[in-house]
Amino acid sequence: MNHPKQLYLGERFDDLEKLYMKLPPDIKDREIDIICRSARKLMEQCDENYIKRDEELAYVGYMKLINLVQVIRKNKDYARKKEAITRLLGTQSDFNRIFEKLSKLKNSLEARYEERARQRGGSATLSRAVELERASNGRQPVVGKEAPMVVPIASGQKQSVTATELHAMINDSRVSMLIMDCRPAKDYEASHLRYAYLVNVPEHLLVAGMTAGKINHALPPESRTLWSNRMVKEQVVLMDWNTSGVPVKDTPLYILNYTLCHYDQDIEDTKIIRLDGGYESFVLHYPASCTNPSYRPPTVLDAMGDNIDDIEYPNISDIPMKEESFTKPGFKPTIDRNSKVAAVTLYEARKKPLEDILVEHEQILDKSKQNALEIINTETELKNLEQQQPLEPGLDETQESLLYEVMQLKDRQRDYEAEKARILEEEQSYKQLEQEQKERGEQISSEQAEQLEREAYERRLRDKEREQRELEEKCQRLARERETKLALAREQKRHLKENNVPEPVKRAYPEEDQRSGPYAGNATPARMPLFDRSAKPLADHNHNVRTRDLDVVQRDFAPVYGSVGRGLTGLKNLGNTCYMNSILQCLSNTHFLNEFFHDPSFKMHLNRNNKTQGKIGEEVAAVIKALWTGQYKCIASKNLRYVVGQYERQFGGIEQQDSHEFLTILMDWLHSDLQTKQMQVSALDQLPPSEKAWIEHFKGKDSYISELFYGQIKSTVKCTRCHKESATYESFSNLSLELPQDSNICYLENCLDMYFNGEEVRGWHCPKCKSNQDAIKKLDISRLPSILVVHFKRFYADPDTMATVYRKKQTLVKFPLSELNMTRYLARTEVNRNKRLTTFRYHLYGVSNHYGSMESGHYTAFCLNNIHQKWFKFDDYNVSSIDASDVQASAAYILFYSCLPDRPQSDVR
């Protein structure tokens, strides 16, 4: 074996860097074909030098080759000629072999330079590279010639460093620096930088709305110490796989940078910079400074290719239409009618499912029977209260509570009926199959015993159904009696108003008034309660809201004290404010919003220059913090209601309002109150249309609310004549979905399909045809929010009535409590810019429910408590635990989904 050629290019290993970093100054302006031919020639020379054992020349040549490849990849023609370039220069596996050679060459050269220095008796006993590498690993550097100090990069002057600059910073022990690697954990473990102060902030944690505190909590214990070093280091360097230039919004690198700059008060003076080209650039330049430099992440092939960047739907036939939305496959099994063996096999396979359906049928009947008994008991209790003479203090509240309970029980009964209808449909399909088999002589004699047993089971079910029908008839009779009395009470109320007779005033909450005895006067009260839903007058200090600073307000929550679990405090009804209470409880259980409002620094983000002057945000924060003290059974949100009423009068009155309307307006208010952060905008004209529309919609300023709750819809209109496409973008804080008109049960997937599927547009002016043409309009998501809010359009104007009368759809929507996958609704042209979104899975944590009708309704909330990891029902001041199986109900009006990692890590996908 021949010996390596003697060292002749430099005195130490670092001298080689000066040689391979020298590229012609006009290299970037040359044609890509010329650069590729040069690279190919250089590669052949390097291989020849490697064989000849000229290690210095081989190392310099290979490193110069890597730099040339970087230039080629940044060339504007690279994407178009990628296949030809790969054939000329080789595949990734070919370059992996080059990395292995580089690693061997570097180790050999460092050892040889060190040995030569020792033989010459020089003062430097170790090469500078080895010396500094040991220093970076926490060892004392060997005394030698003082290395030049790397000047920290000022964030205001330069926001990124090259791989060469970072390498020099790593090898200078006097540089105070922490490196944050935001690649996926599996990629980081497989290959990362060799540096002592390096922490992996996994990609799955970096979603819009993340805070520094939450990142710290989610990191493994061994990483938290390194993460805390950001508070003492002079600069933090951020890196991902290969981002060059300004990172795209919503990418992990962008979110990590944004979080550190806006939601981390501990690093106000720390400089935040980025590694240009990411880890991929560094490992190409300095493979020996990385563990496993040959590692590359799994390549995800984009089946859609590069030609769809501007075209959403190349073929009109690709667009699913709205009329297909609610057509789910039936339950009837398919069979091969030409094969008796196939039929027998199918019968065996279906026998157990049919038995399961019968068991489920019986369970539904049992639940329905129990529910009907509760309705009868509640109705009876109401009837007894009405007959009491005279009215006792607190009776109005008791009756109101019972009325609300009846509403909820009746909605649940309706759900049981819908489930029973679905089960009966499944039963019929299997029975029909059996009948067809029997007619063809395919019934198996050995199954007769099971058939007899099943018939006995079905007789038991029929008996239960008969009992349930009797209970239903009794419920309906009691309900008719109550409706008659309610109509009489309304007539008496109208008569009292016409004659200016004062009505009895009910108390806002039973425990606030300790009076006893009958109301004053000898007048006989109406048998049904006359509810006066007006709120008690607010305390005097509320009148000073206009002139004082809300930071020092002494809020009157009128609390009822009692030790309860955190987040399990109820809200008093201040006069038909159950719609507001329902939304506030859902927002209170939005874990990241809760955490944000509990941090005192949130006041630094308040915008005092808008219409509401930050007051809405401050009052919502105060209510949420009070709900999570665990010291109160219930509180009154009087200050919030007063301030809300100042800016939207309808929410300050005593009439019932729509919780969806309140939520939509409240989101806009909260966004405006917290809209203080300037977006990072470069050249607006060079941005993708979706990003440009996003910036223009929010006028260049973000808020924590927009980061959590707001998404973006892409609307594509395609001409059916010339196939010209036109796209517009619109931001949203919730999705309002249609429900089927004539169906008692459907799935959330159906409703989403109905929203996003295509619809015909008549008379659209096509910019290419220059005339009005038929077109198809299709909606897709161009930006998914971290918190997805879904609203069901349950109320509609009845077309069969002369006057405008609103009805309510009581459809039971089957929605998932976890693993809601929204990626199928992503715009195809946005996938390349939002690859991170393809891993999004949403879990349900809140539901705003509506019971009753337009004329007489009530709101509650079901919320998943993050501390207890249990579901709770919030019915104004009453809070009680519920089973997760009871969350799906026809009362569901607004759903709150989150893809944020606010659950235990084992549950996060």
Catalytic residues: 578, 858
Residue partners of 836: CB distance under 8 A and separation at least 6: 203, 250, 251, 252
Helices (H), 52-81: 55-74
SS3 of 711, please?
strand
Beta-bridge partners for 275: 161
Say if residues 651 and 657 touch (Cβ distance below 8 Å).
yes
Residue 725 DSSP code: E
**HEC profile of 532-600:** CCCCCCCCHHHHHCCCCCHHHCCCCCCCEECCCCCCCCEECCCCCCHHHHHHHHHHHCCHHHHHHHHCH
For residue 559, the number of C-alpha atoms closer than 13 Å in the C-beta half-sphere is: 15
DSSP 271-329: EEEEETTHHHHHHHH-GGGBSSTT--PPP---TT-STTSS-S-SSGGGS-BGGGTT---
Separation of alpha carbons 429 and 895, rounded Å? 33
Residue 127 DSSP code: -
Residue 175 DSSP code: -
Pull the structure tokens for residue 613.
Answer: 């002057």
Say if residues 756 and 737 touch (Cβ distance below 8 Å).
no
C-alpha distances out from residue 318 to 321, 409, 502, 778, Å: 10, 45, 66, 11
Separation of alpha carbons 240 and 250, rounded Å? 13
Separation of alpha carbons 285 and 170, rounded Å? 14
Separation of alpha carbons 775 and 727, rounded Å? 13
Residue partners of 829: CB distance under 8 A and separation at least 6: 308, 309, 310, 311, 312, 714
What backbone phi and psi angles, to 5 degrees, belong to 727? -125, 140
SS3 of 601, please?
helix
Q: How long, in residues, is the chain?
A: 909
Separation of alpha carbons 673 and 667, rounded Å? 10
Q: Supply the Cα-derived Rg of the chain in whole angstroms.
A: 35
Of 378, 403, 377, give the one whose Cα is nearest residue 529: 403
Say if residues 842 and 823 touch (Cβ distance below 8 Å).
no
Say if residues 845 and 590 touch (Cβ distance below 8 Å).
yes
Say if residues 848 and 571 touch (Cβ distance below 8 Å).
no
Q: Cα-Cα-Cα-Cα dihedral of 150, 155, 157, 161, to 10°?
A: 50
CB atoms within 10 A of CB 603: 14
Query: Exposed/middle/buried for 240, CB within 10 Å: 0-12, 13-18, 19+?
Result: buried
Say if residues 571 and 584 touch (Cβ distance below 8 Å).
yes
DSSP 635-683: E--HHHHHHHHHH-GGGGSSS---HHHHHHHHHHHHHHHT--EEP--S-
C-alpha distances out from residue 147 to 128, 131, 138, Å: 9, 11, 17
Of 197, 257, 256, give the one whose Cα is nearest residue 226: 197
C-alpha distances out from residue 867 to 14, 567, 568, 606, 848, Å: 55, 8, 10, 28, 20
Nearest 5°: the CA angle 306, 309, 315 is 95
